[in-house]
Structure 1
């Protein structure tokens, strides 16, 4: 093995070999285990959320594969209708063209051409991370198999009266000219105004005052509403007001939706431009007047004076006209939530338009029952409440979009408006009894991307055909996804799976948290705090990182701020960690919380863990390459240390098995890290040296065998999380340990053997560790040289202590660097010494002649003075009211440092007292 662990070359080698060998594909043997990847957008690049979830899915898949399951992790990408169309439209804009210049079919061909050239970026990045997906089964939501499934699903749902075309209120992005989903709307608080208008009563007896944040919508008002128990307006219910500017009477209605305490207690109702008003309008059978065009201009349904104006221009005109009429009561500054399209930034309008809808309630009832009766379970379990709440309050689902890229709705229209649905035009004609002489026009809309994604667990396996894959791998075993798409994807997959396959799409739904930056802020390009996982894997310099984060920013001041923040956080850029260290970091952070704070320094720390494993393997190989496992008939003796590490291995294997069942990857990482670093590397490798260096050949054989077999088991335990380094080392260790096979991933995952648990050996080594740590603490506190062999006296030793000292003296003297311990009788006077406790037994190290007490006191006084000065400065800063206004993480950091200094000072003063007592 090379002296240093260099991950890049190892990763390139094994990634290529694994893919070429076909070992990612299920072999048809064993019980199947299936995961379908949440398909990332074909326009996208790998971000921290992807890398995090993929690390979890790969750990599950590799673990199941090693357990003998026929594991399939099926990859694919989503066509991302709006996002992809925007990418190609922007390319056309740079050439001075639009999609309308090309026409529909040439434009779609341009998108396919773009996908062929640039659309595979994210799949290549997934490959780079070593994810063991079966690339031979890769799917794309627009490929032939998935497209056939989308058409089939629509036709069947339509024929079952679960899809209809109707006019309802939807989220509308006027810049895109299409309906969008709630997930594509980002609402944020912005500064705005609240305009208070007077609506005259139709009988001339006064007026009602209403308040609005969108004055232009008053042109489409069809009522004013008050609370039915509001005595101020009870006598007016059933009467009318004259809608200003439009000069038409509208009724005053009573509805308990109105909050009497808000504003004047009167609310203007615009059913065609507000979701709450729409629902109220249905309850009171109010007209729906759409006063906007698809590009957010005033339509001809409004008074002529406003037709054609942009919505915000119309807003100013309405306010001015109301003021001129003396009907503007006042304008208040007002904070309000403004919905914007996540792709365009345009203000989204509730818009009344004709769309295709799924009747969601019948499908939702079955999906809800599937979690209530345990056929599907959420991990953590509390997420069932989010799922349940949405399904219990579900609305019909708008599945059509007014763009060109996507699955086109398989519907045709006759000249007189009859709707025909079929898998193709011929079937549609047959369904409607329309002969070939009647011209038909194809529906221009495409499906919402979430519609095709809802079919993903079975469309990827060949549905609607009855394929071998579908029969074997549906339903899946686990879905790994984020909490933010429980509504949009998880619930809809459950609805569609139960309807079309009569079974749930997966058994377990493991919900991950959201990866945030080290300070807990959401990662976003606008904040300049995004970390590219491949930058961590490969490493990136500070200048390049700054350039990457500020690329394309139009605001110089903001770019400067991001540069300053980046250089302060990462003055040397990001250190290369390699894939294994990054994956281990993700697993270590995979707690049950909602948010995950990611600090690159933690990944750098786990790079050190890789180095630790590498160096341990080199040590074992040096000991075992010439003489590995004992041959038949050779005498073998196991030391207490050998039996201890084997015993601890059984307990670790038991814990890891349970943590895998519970999806507690943080506990898997924690358990393995502690065992490998602290118990195997720090303790066992040292405890093994006395036997390896001794003259007892049988003991040497026993320790070599234990070194080898435990390390080989460690590699298999770690492999699902750290595949590259474990494969590289296993190729050398496995054959020496008697393992046959071309890859560690085809080896069995370790299972505990309870009969090898040895409480006596565990007790012995725990006692020995206590002895060694006690001596090391004394050495550190008294600033004694590590190589100095210290005299040690033992007082109050029990019979068991005496026996253990006798039996493990070689390990004690070697590892603690002490002379053979001497026992003091109760009547003997103890020397002036530094003391440590091991149970009731005292470890005494005489200090006379070992330290220069005057020099040690001076050293300690200097450290105390330095700590006191720093603490005084911190206390002064924390007491300053201005410092309290600093960012919370800065203030908390100062508090933590002050607390640490107080603890350090207490320890230094105590140590000084001990040294002074010796003097």
Structure 2
């Protein structure tokens, strides 16, 4: 967390608040009296008890004369060499001189490795000063020691420990200034996290990481979306040794055993790094210990640490197939085909599976990696309990009232301040609760959201919209069932060429929707697939085709019998194919509706839509020229609707079409009846260029060859 300037926070174990957000300056006396002192600044002055050096920038002229010289630690007399480090030191911040505590700061730790410094741990496991911090402070809690160190520096008269020199200023403490700082807080205990060194097990990843990089570069593994390949290269090309041990209660135990010999004087676990034996099992460890210490009595004790979660889960592609045994499943199913996971664990999990799979399994664990976006709230904020914007999928599926949402917050473990923020967040985002949306609508909404790159700003209103769309599809199927009739049996084959134009058109656009959906699924462009399916169902089947065939279905005249039969067949094909096309996205409602549909005579009905064949493009359904003609008419009607004057009546008005080519005139003439059926116009009269434009009309230009006029 970011702490503002000069803030007091309550820390567990302390009766009074602890002061943070300040920069404390103090001086180290130099070992040569004539050189005076060097002033450093820190936000954690208690760590000075473990300082082992002072760093300055090599180009900082203020300290050129001190390069390679020494300062003296005022509490223990330790010599602190003044070194140059251009990586860490910012000469414009503070005094330009930086105290270095390699054992208790990540940046200082790197400085310690670069300059081969001494690492002095001054804290016990429970956060108190140990014997390395000096008898004056030993046993003090860390923040109590912070106050004690400042007071001690104020009392010290700058007396050089090696040679006695006195200065006019009689205190090593200089001043305290406000300074915004970043503070690590434990999410469970609310205690302040202090970096400290612990013996750990590491894995050298250089060889495995290079193999992982090569696998992606050679396209042996494909990362989707491709943009995340650069993250892959950046992480693995700059990889460090992997710390795989954790001091936790639960997990796989580190397979390392410590050998304690009978005549050892020091028997503490890990006191001699040469005594560790890493083996697969107890018998292998015993055998190795006997070979290493022949004729000696010994005892084996396993390291209590457990393996990093990502180490254990990195073995997943192998262990689920029976590895390390050579099982039939491992031979048959390794490597897998596709891994689907969140982009936030591309390195934590995916990279570890690839490295360990190639190292232990001899091949990449999967061929493709599809990374889905991370869900955020409608405002783009990260999902957080303290913000109160956590959305339980079951609440979206089943619906929940605002009162129940607030009650659930109170049953959690938020502190009072966070609870109040969360309550206000819920009231603002869900003033009426969350309406019941169902599983199908939630699935479709999430899939359609994947076009938002790395984030999904989930708005429940959009899920509600898809629930309403599910209702529309349900009504469309019901309409079809009524108009097909209980005696209807779909034909085994359909001759599309003999169908009315509107039937050819709907099958042609369905064919394109199938092609777009299949190609999008194969390319993992799921949003394009949902758009293709939605557009066909909503704008072409429901809005156009069903409305266009109603005159045939509602008219029992023998004159239309042939057209009526063709419309029924086309409607059945659309319902059957459309449901199968939509099934992966909305499986439950599609299964229910598909079971209602009649099946062709003598066909072997599948027990479930899941077992039926997924739609594929049918060459005989393609009517591009006819489709273009009807699409032009539909586009013209849409423009015409926008010209209608606002009125509360559905009054039909005459319309005129000015055609500037014979081809366009033929198309409009052919689909004149369709235009009148699908729009609220009373008639459609064709005009030639020589005809006079009718007065009092609203004009819509469809294209350079066609203009339409709506009588006002």
Give the TM-score, by structure 1 length.
Answer: 0.68
2-side partners of 1:568 and 1:339: how far apart?
31
Q: Does 1:720 align with 2:584?
A: yes
1:777 to 626, 629, 642: 642
Deviation at 1:191, TM superposition (A): 5.8
Residue 269 of structure 2 corresponds to: none
2:141 to 310, 315, 326: 310
What are the equivalent positions in structure 2 for 1:342-421 lying under 5 Å apart? Answer: 342-416=187-261, 418-421=275-278
Residue 704 of structure 1 corresponds to: 568
Q: Does 1:427 align with 2:272?
A: no
Q: Does 1:629 align with 2:490?
A: yes
Judge conservation of contact 2:387–2:421 (CA < 8 Å) in 1. Answer: no
Residue 535 of structure 1 corresponds to: 395
Q: Does 1:818 align with 2:681?
A: yes
Residue 47 of structure 2 corresponds to: 217
2-side partners of 1:442 and 1:460: how far apart?
26
Q: Does 1:283 align with 2:105?
A: no
Residue 298 of structure 1 corresponds to: 129
Deviation at 1:439, TM superposition (A): 2.8
Judge conservation of contact 1:238–1:252 (CA < 8 Å) in 2. Answer: yes
1:470 to 306, 310, 330: 330
Which has the higher mean CA deviation after the structures are superposed, 407-416 or 443-452? 407-416
Residue 501 of structure 1 corresponds to: 361
1-side partners of 2:582 and 2:409: how far apart?
34
Q: Does 1:677 align with 2:538?
A: yes
2-side partners of 1:590 and 1:479: how far apart?
17
Residue 73 of structure 2 corresponds to: 243
Q: Does 1:449 align with 2:309?
A: yes
CA displacement, residues 725-749 of structure 1 (integer Å, 9 cap, x when unaligned): 1111111226359562111112222
CA displacement, residues 219-266 of structure 1 (integer Å, 9 cap, x when unaligned): 111111122333332322221100122322121122222222322221
Q: Secondary structure at the match of 1:414?
A: strand
Which has the higher mean CA deviation after the structures are superposed, 730-739 or 230-239? 730-739
Pair 1:789–1:486, CA change in 2 (3 A): closer
Pair 1:554–1:636, CA change in 2 (3 A): closer
Q: Secondary structure at the match of 2:681?
A: coil
Judge conservation of contact 1:636–1:701 (CA < 8 Å) in 2. Answer: no
- Larger radius of gyration between Structure 1 and Structure 2: 2
Deviation at 1:773, TM superposition (A): 2.9
Judge conservation of contact 2:45–2:150 (CA < 8 Å) in 1. Answer: yes
1:799 to 659, 662, 673: 662
Q: Does 1:758 align with 2:619?
A: no
Deviation at 1:566, TM superposition (A): 2.1
Deviation at 1:789, TM superposition (A): 3.5
Judge conservation of contact 2:496–2:504 (CA < 8 Å) in 1. Answer: no
Q: Secondary structure at the match of 1:715?
A: helix
Deviation at 1:623, TM superposition (A): 2.0
2-side partners of 1:558 and 1:421: how far apart?
46
CA displacement, residues 432-458 of structure 1 (integer Å, 9 cap, x when unaligned): 216895332222121121110111111
Pair 1:806–1:364, CA change in 2 (3 A): closer
1-side partners of 2:441 and 2:573: how far apart?
24
2:58 to 228, 236, 239: 228
Q: Secondary structure at the match of 1:350?
A: coil
Pair 1:635–1:237, CA change in 2 (3 A): closer
Q: Secondary structure at the match of 1:429?
A: helix
Greater share of helix: 1
Pair 1:360–1:350, CA change in 2 (3 A): farther
Greater relative contact order (CA < 8 Å, ≥ 6 in sequence): 1
2:606 to 709, 720, 741: 741
Deviation at 1:603, TM superposition (A): 0.4
CA RMSD of aligned residues (A): 2.6
Q: Does 1:832 align with 2:708?
A: no
Deviation at 1:316, TM superposition (A): 1.6
Q: Does 1:582 align with 2:582?
A: no
What are the equivalent positions in structure 2 for 1:59-208 lying under 5 Å apart? Answer: 192-204=21-33, 205-208=35-38
Give the TM-score, by structure 2 length.
Answer: 0.87
Residue 596 of structure 2 corresponds to: 732
Pair 1:593–1:323, CA change in 2 (3 A): farther
What are the equivalent positions in structure 2 for 1:500-649 lying under 5 Å apart? Answer: 500-552=360-412, 556=416, 558-591=418-451, 593-624=453-484, 625-630=486-491, 637-649=498-510
Judge conservation of contact 1:530–1:549 (CA < 8 Å) in 2. Answer: no
Judge conservation of contact 1:638–1:702 (CA < 8 Å) in 2. Answer: yes
Q: Which runs of 4+ in 1 moved over 4 A?
A: 434-437, 553-558, 631-636, 736-739
Pair 1:804–1:315, CA change in 2 (3 A): same
Judge conservation of contact 1:199–1:243 (CA < 8 Å) in 2. Answer: yes
CA displacement, residues 419-475 of structure 1 (integer Å, 9 cap, x when unaligned): 233232222110121689533222212112111011111111111112222222222
